[in-house]
Structure 1
Amino acid sequence: MKLYRYLTGPDDAAFCKRVTAALNKGWDLAGQPTLTFDPVKGRVICGQPIVKEVPGVDYTDDVVLSDH
């Protein structure tokens, strides 16, 4: 099964740590990061798509992406 996630959050060290943690759990970057500006909170928001291949498992709607 191939899993897809799109991580988002403020452009800060915590976001970078979330992406780093996912990479160290076997996820791969899937394209370029995105940036947008939240004018209400006055901050930049990042997004990073990631994918992971999990052999021997079939996808169901019950799959919890963060468990993999």
Structure 2
Amino acid sequence: MTTIPPDNLPTYRLLTGPDDAAFCKRVSEALALGYQLYGSPAATFNGERVIVAQAIIWPSAKPA
């Protein structure tokens, strides 16, 4: 595995959006690139729909 993310992406990312298939696809694509989930997901309700967040981290950025 490479030590840096592809396409100049940051080592830490917080993905957010409506809890729908598009959000799940974004998380899945990041995992396929080599990112790992970091911490638990979060969810809130904005009065119309559920908004979710998931932190992801590039493996070489994890503390030992």
Q: Which of the five TM-score ranges fits, normalised by the shorter chain?
A: 0.7 to 0.9
SS in 2 for 1:50: strand
Residue identity opposite 1:28 in structure 2: Q
* TM-score, length-scaled by structure 1: 0.71
Match of 2:18 in 1: 10
Of 15, 37, 55, the match for 1:29:
37
Match of 2:28 in 1: 20
Unaligned runs of 5+ in 1: 56-68
SS in 1 for 2:11: strand
State the identity %: 53
Unaligned runs of 5+ in 2: 5-9
Q: How many residues align structurally?
A: 53
Report the aligned-residue RMSD.
Answer: 2.0
